[in-house]
């Protein structure tokens, strides 16, 4: 675990270096060829489901806004947002080493938590898992024009924007798997999409595929400011977490979100370990794999 801890410490220095080139990144965003999102009075509107039927945990901030899950995600969102601000970051890719570790649940609740506390700050949730999309089902919302069509050039970005009942939150979700997923995320339009939306929103949360099974995230992370890793206690292997960090580059990783981690009673549903702490050691505590 010493290797991961050292990697995360080096990453902290890397993020500081990225912050120093923020003006250049801003210039790239301004040069984006994609159309901007439409005004709220002319775009599609959807309502994130407040039903507690089925697997509702990805929208727990809406289903049980005063519950412990929701409050835990708000604590997490505040800490992550503070770190992103210090690093000059506006976009964050939420990913994991493998599937089944809770990345989509984390990305959705993070966006919902940020929007519930936004106070005039605009939040965007962008789904870029064009292989096995899950965000629309997790949030209980319909998708009329999917972001995969924008990447393919058959729809405008404005058509894929959906506003929600949370005034500050917009969604850009996938409607169906892309026929050529690697081509979609490797195309210049994917980088332009991330840069364009990061320019429009104060915080852009990006749900992506897992890192190890497919090459999508290393490609996408070139265009995002930072990456949040999601791990599941007792499931995520330490070797997989180490390999994931190495694959992404330590300078990109802002922290680790641990699902089902051991923590104080009032925060027992989550654990977030940023660079101010020994992130990897804490995240793997109790993980015997």
* DSSP states of 71-107: HHHHHHHHHHHHHHHHHT--EEEEEESSTTSSHHHHH
Cα 177 from Cα 131, distance rounded (Å): 5
Q: Which residues contact 109 (CB under 8 A, 6 or more apart)?
A: 57, 58, 59, 60, 61, 69, 70, 73
Q: What is the pLDDT along the chain (289 residues), one digit of tens a residue?
A: 444 455 455 544 544 444 443 444 344 334 444 555 555 555 678 999 999 988 898 999 999 999 888 999 999 999 999 999 999 999 999 999 999 889 999 999 999 999 999 778 999 999 999 999 999 999 999 999 999 999 999 999 999 999 999 999 999 999 999 999 999 999 999 999 999 999 999 999 999 999 999 999 999 999 999 999 998 876 778 888 888 888 898 889 999 888 764 444 444 445 555 543 344 334 334 343 3
Cα 121 from Cα 119, distance rounded (Å): 6
Q: All domains of the chain, ordered by start, with CATH? A: 2-283 (3.40.50.300)
List, in sequence order, every beta strand (DSSP E) within 173-265.
203-207, 226-232, 253-259
């Amino acid at each position: 675990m010493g290797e991961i801890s050292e990697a995360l410490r080096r990453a902290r220095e890397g993020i500081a270096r990225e912050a120093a080139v923020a003006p250049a990144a801003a210039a790239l965003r301004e040069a984006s060829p994609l159309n901007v999102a439409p005004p709220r009075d002319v775009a599609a509107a959807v309502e994130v489901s407040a039903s507690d039927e089925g697997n509702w945990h990805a929208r727990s901030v809406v289903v049980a806004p005063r519950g412990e899950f929701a409050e835990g995600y708000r604590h997490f969102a505040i800490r992550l947002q503070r770190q992103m601000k210090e690093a000059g970051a506006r976009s964050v890719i939420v990913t994991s080493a493998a599937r089944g570790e809770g990345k989509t649940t984390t990305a959705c609740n993070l966006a919902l938590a940020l929007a519930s506390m936004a106070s005039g700050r605009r939040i965007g949730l962008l789904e870029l898992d064009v292989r096995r999309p899950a965000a629309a089902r997790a949030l209980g919302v319909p998708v009329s024009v999917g972001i995969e069509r924008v990447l393919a050039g058959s729809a405008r970005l404005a058509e894929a924007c959906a506003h929600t009942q949370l005034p500050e939150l917009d969604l850009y979700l996938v409607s169906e798997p892309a026929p050529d997923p690697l081509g979609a995320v490797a195309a210049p339009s994917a980088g332009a999409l991330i840069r364009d939306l990061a320019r429009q929103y104060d915080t852009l949360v990006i749900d992506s595929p897992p890192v190890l099974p497919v090459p999508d995230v290393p490609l996408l992370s070139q265009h995002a400011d930072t990456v949040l890793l999601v791990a599941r206690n007792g499931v995520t292997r330490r070797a997989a977490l180490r390999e994931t960090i190495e694959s992404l580059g330590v300078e990109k990783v802002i922290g680790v979100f641990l699902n089902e981690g051991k923590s104080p009673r009032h925060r027992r549903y989550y654990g977030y370990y940023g660079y101010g702490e020994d992130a990897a050691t804490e995240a793997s505590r109790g993980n015997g794999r």
